[in-house]
Amino acid sequence: MPLILLTGFPASGKSTRAQQLREYFSTIVGKNVVLLSENEIVKNKHIYSDANKEKELRSTLKSELQRLISQEGILILDGGNYIKGYRYELYCSSKSNKTTQCTLHIDTSSEQAWKQNLKREENCQYSQENFDALIMRYEAPDGRNRWDTPLFTIQPEDKLPFEEIAAALCERKAPAPNQSTQSLPLTSTNFLYELDCVTQEIVNRVVEAQKTSVIGDEVSIPNSTEKFLLKRRYQLSELSRIRRQFISFAKTHPVDDIPRLAAMFFQYLTSHLV
């Protein structure tokens, strides 16, 4: 089913917009609409004080999305979706299911979002600390990124462009699955071996380069034309953690073109480093 991915600051009005979308597509367009809401899973906003619980939340939402997206109708994902690497993973899920997707950015200012947060019931409010942390970590969508396109940016006073959203989902051809999104048998020993070698080589190159480079230098990536910009010093443990995450992701999205695999890891790595 086509996917509408909502994103925005906490308490920016995403859930209100999600309800408007559900009403439009169910009553006007006559589609079956499934609303997958972060709020239904998060019973206490203090979850955002715990990085592991927050990671579990994203994993739960992604698993539910993958389960629902193969069905008929419209799927609306109502959540912060503030990490661009996570939005990329969701894009791969919709692409592998040969369905369309669009991104709806609720562009409410942090000041207005905080005021709206204070109007909520106390048990539904974000603490000042968690609110500020989520604002700081938020990575706004960019229409130049294929996983954020087509992008609709909505101000608080705007009416939703229902017809344009419907056209983006129902009249546009879904992107064709390619080697980076099609699931292949995991028994391919060669693929798993290359996956391990290529990702480890890139991590080693970044670690070694830091010994002789300064902040702002670019590091050539093995098996790729990409260059890694050293924005700060990166710990081996941090790079290895992201490498393990990518390996788990890549096992369900195998490729047999090694330069493509290296480019995929480079993109994943840069999107998960802050």
Specify whether 86 is located in the same domain as 131: yes
- Within-domain flag for 259: yes
Specify whether 16 is located in the same domain as 138: yes
- Within-domain flag for 175: no
Specify whether 166 is located in the same domain as 195: no
Q: Helix axis angle, 110-118 relative to 128-137, nearest 10°?
A: 150
- Within-domain flag for 63: yes
Cis-peptide, bond into residue 150, ω within 30° of zero: yes
Beta-carbon count within 10 A of 104 CB: 27
Specify whether 223 is located in the same domain as 141: no
Specify whether 118 is located in the same domain as 240: no
- Within-domain flag for 178: no
pLDDT value of residue 183? 45
Domain boundary among 170, 198, 220: 170
Q: Helix axis angle, 258-272 relative to 189-209, nearest 10°?
A: 50
The residue segments making up the domain with residue 146 are 3-170
Q: Encode burial over 238-251: b for 16+ CB neighbours within 10 A, e otherwise.
A: ebeebbebbeebbe
Which of 196, 269, 195 lies closest to 229 in space, CA to CA?
A: 269
Q: Structural domain tally of the chain?
A: 2
Domain boundary among 170, 197, 232: 170
Encoding tokens for residue 211?
């010994």
pLDDT value of residue 185? 41
- Within-domain flag for 196: yes
- Within-domain flag for 213: yes
Specify whether 163 is located in the same domain as 193: no
Percent of the chain with pLDDT over 90: 46
Per-residue pLDDT of the chain (274 residues; tens, 9 = 90+): 899 999 999 999 999 999 999 999 999 999 999 999 998 888 777 788 888 888 888 888 888 898 888 778 899 999 999 998 889 989 988 888 889 999 999 999 999 999 999 999 888 899 999 999 999 999 999 998 889 999 999 999 999 999 999 999 988 887 765 544 444 444 355 677 788 888 999 999 999 999 888 898 999 888 788 888 898 999 999 999 999 988 888 877 766 666 678 888 888 888 888 6
Specify whether 195 is located in the same domain as 246: yes
- Within-domain flag for 35: yes
pLDDT tens sequence across 140-157:
999 988 899 999 999 999
Q: How many helices (H) and strands (E) does the chain have?
A: 10, 7
- Within-domain flag for 116: yes
CATH number at residue 52: 3.40.50.300
Which of 21, 126, 130, 23 lies closest to 78 in space, CA to CA?
A: 21
pLDDT value of residue 195? 84
pLDDT value of residue 257? 67
Specify whether 22 is located in the same domain as 154: yes
pLDDT value of residue 186? 42
Domain boundary among 135, 170, 205: 170
